[in-house]
């Protein structure tokens, strides 16, 4: 059973955690702002800078409509379209981040962004929670032989097991030992602290034999991150911003530099103190009942605040255009996308190879999920 994972010759684990500053898309596609954020995160104690490579068409269908986010409901497809950046943006940001002595991390959301990212020569890669079931993307990433951070929000044990089977990260597969970190996450924004169920970190490590970490969307800079360390986290990822009113999609739940630095101190102190002292400290400061609620039962299941998102923020197969009754479905007529709120979910992505060549039983509107009964 691995407690640690390795990246570029550096080993991270519960006594020496990686702290990731998630810029996401909060730079709004501006390289100067992204560099300013990276420098501020480095000053605040981050080990790694993470961003996201966004191409709207490989995430959502235009008919997805408005999606509720921390800053309010927006037409997310259009916002993602506006955030698209050329490969040079990521290349220049990677070079700058590495010049600061930090690791660069980027999340691809589909095969196009994955192909661009691979050309940049990353040292590791992150799969976001909604893409945990994106079979084709997981297979592509598995072929790179790089360390993988696999986020597991709004998922079940079966979902995680299938994803790990594809990425070949089970204990005993020598070529990938120490190259996986399974991230516990609650995919609501903000995520209630009492729904984090942090004991699940130990459960996930015991069941899957890989190192574990935390992708945190809670608002308190200390409580959830420090308690995650007490439960064996090898890394903590947290959204970072220059200002909570900076205009980025995730800025309302992100930590500005002073609060991010406070989180880093709390994490390092917890790692040095060990589990027992850390738990005792937070029981004294926050109360036994609150700490117990944050630690939870250790049983892996979607948190109450994210249950309605299951099979909606995850990927499924959707019609790329209006498909008429009796039409033969071609390779470009469907895509593996997030469903979100108003469209219906389709088949799991693992069925993607079997869709082309099928005949539509009934009319399938553009954007809607393609189900067994539709073909």
Could you tell me the CATH number of the domain that includes residue 323? 3.90.1210.10
pLDDT at position 173 is 46
pLDDT at position 156 is 94
What distance lies between CA 253 and its chain's CA centroid?
Answer: 15
Please tell me whether residues 364 and 261 are part of one structural domain. Answer: no
pLDDT at position 174 is 44
pLDDT tens for each residue of 253-278: 999 999 999 999 999 999 999 999 99
Which range marks the domain in which residue 270 is found? 5-306
Which parts of 170-309 fold into alpha helices (H)?
200-208, 223-230, 257-273, 275-286, 288-295
Please tell me whether residues 130 and 266 are part of one structural domain. Answer: yes
Residues facing residue 102 across a β-bridge: none
Please tell me whether residues 209 and 261 are part of one structural domain. Answer: yes
pLDDT at position 171 is 39
Backbone angles phi, psi at 233, to 5 degrees: -65, 135
pLDDT at position 20 is 98
Weakly modelled stretches of the chain, pLDDT under 50: 169-176
The closest alpha carbon to 197, from 308, 302, 49, belongs to 302
Please tell me whether residues 229 and 319 are part of one structural domain. Answer: no
Q: How far from 321 is each of 61, 86, 219, 338, CA to CA, in Å?
A: 10, 26, 40, 16
pLDDT at position 177 is 55
Q: What is the pTM of this model?
A: 0.94
Please tell me whether residues 189 and 172 are part of one structural domain. Answer: yes
Among left, alpha and beta (phi > 0; psi -120 to 50; other), residue 121 is left
- Rounded to whole angstroms, the Cα distance separating 27 from 33 reads 5
Radius of gyration over every alpha carbon of the chain, rounded to an integer in angstroms: 20
Burial class of residue 262 in the structure, from the number of CB atoms within 10 Å of its CB (0-12 exposed, 13-18 middle, 19+ buried)? middle
Name the token pair of 151: 């986020």
Exposure letters 323-336 (e unless 16+ CB within 10 A, then b): beeeeebeeebbbb
Residue ending a domain, among 306, 331, 352, is 306
pLDDT at position 369 is 98
Please tell me whether residues 234 and 257 are part of one structural domain. Answer: yes
- Tell me the longest C-alpha to C-alpha distance in the chain: 67
Name the token pair of 161: 């097991």
Name the token pair of 172: 């005993």
Please tell me whether residues 219 and 337 are part of one structural domain. Answer: no
pLDDT at position 247 is 76
Count CB neighbours of 157 within 10 A: 16
Residue ending a domain, among 269, 287, 306, is 306
Beta strands 103-108 and 125-127 are unpaired
Please tell me whether residues 293 and 343 are part of one structural domain. Answer: no
- Rounded to whole angstroms, the Cα distance separating 86 from 370 reads 32
Please tell me whether residues 173 and 316 are part of one structural domain. Answer: no
Backbone angles phi, psi at 264, to 5 degrees: -60, -45
The closest alpha carbon to 275, from 260, 295, 289, 296, belongs to 295
Instruction: Find out whether the peptide bond into 309 is cis, omega within 30 degrees of 0.
Output: no
- Rounded to whole angstroms, the Cα distance separating 99 from 355 reads 46
Q: Count the domains in the chain.
A: 2
- Rounded to whole angstroms, the Cα distance separating 121 from 115 reads 11
Please tell me whether residues 328 and 220 are part of one structural domain. Answer: no
Please tell me whether residues 366 and 302 are part of one structural domain. Answer: no
Please tell me whether residues 347 and 214 are part of one structural domain. Answer: no
Residue ending a domain, among 251, 282, 306, is 306
Residue 285: give its domain's CATH number: 3.20.20.70
- The H or E element that residue 41 is part of is helix 31-44
């Amino acid at each position: 059973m691995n407690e640690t994972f390795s990246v570029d010759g550096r080993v991270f684990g519960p006594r020496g955690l990686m702290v990731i500053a998630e810029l996401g898309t909060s730079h709004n596609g501006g390289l100067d702002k992204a560099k300013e954020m990276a420098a501020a995160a480095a000053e605040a104690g981050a080990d790694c800078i993470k961003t996201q490579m966004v191409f709207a068409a490989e995430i959502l269908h235009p008919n997805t409509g408005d999606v509720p986010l921390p800053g309010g409901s927006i037409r997310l497809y259009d916002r993602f379209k506006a955030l698209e950046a050329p490969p040079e943006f990521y290349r220049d940001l990677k070079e700058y981040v590495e010049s600061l002595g930090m690791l660069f991390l980027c999340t691809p959301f589909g095969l196009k962004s994955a192909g661009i990212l691979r050309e940049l020569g990353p040292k590791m890669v992150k799969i976001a929670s909604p893409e945990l079931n994106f079979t084709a993307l997981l297979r592509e990433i598995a072929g790179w032989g790089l360390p993988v951070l696999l986020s597991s929000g709004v998922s079940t044990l079966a979902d995680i097991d299938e994803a790990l089977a594809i990425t070949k990260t089970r204990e005993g597969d020598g070529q990938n030992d120490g190259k996986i970190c399974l991230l516990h996450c609650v995919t609501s924004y903000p995520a209630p602290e009492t729904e984090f169920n942090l004991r699940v970190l130990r459960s996930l490590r015991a069941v899957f034999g890989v190192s574990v970490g935390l992708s945190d969307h809670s608002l308190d800079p200390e409580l959830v991150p420090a308690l995650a360390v007490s439960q064996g986290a090898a890394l903590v990822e947290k959204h970072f911003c220059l200002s909570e009113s900076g205009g980025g999609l995730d800025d309302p739940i992100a930590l500005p530099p002073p609060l991010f630095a406070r989180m880093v101190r709390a994490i390092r102190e917890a790692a040095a103190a060990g589990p027992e002292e850390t738990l005792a400290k937070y029981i004294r400061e926050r109360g036994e009942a609150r700490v117990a609620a944050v630690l939870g039962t250790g049983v892996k299941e979607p948190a109450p605040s994210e249950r309605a998102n299951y099979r909606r923020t995850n990927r499924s197969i959707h019609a790329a255009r209006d498909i008429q009754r009796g039409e033969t479905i071609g390779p470009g007529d469907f895509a593996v996308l997030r469903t979100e709120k108003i469209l219906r979910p389709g088949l799991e992505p693992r069925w993607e190879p079997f869709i082309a060549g099928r005949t539509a039983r009934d009319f399938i509107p553009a954007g809607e999920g393609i189900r067994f009964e539709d073909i």
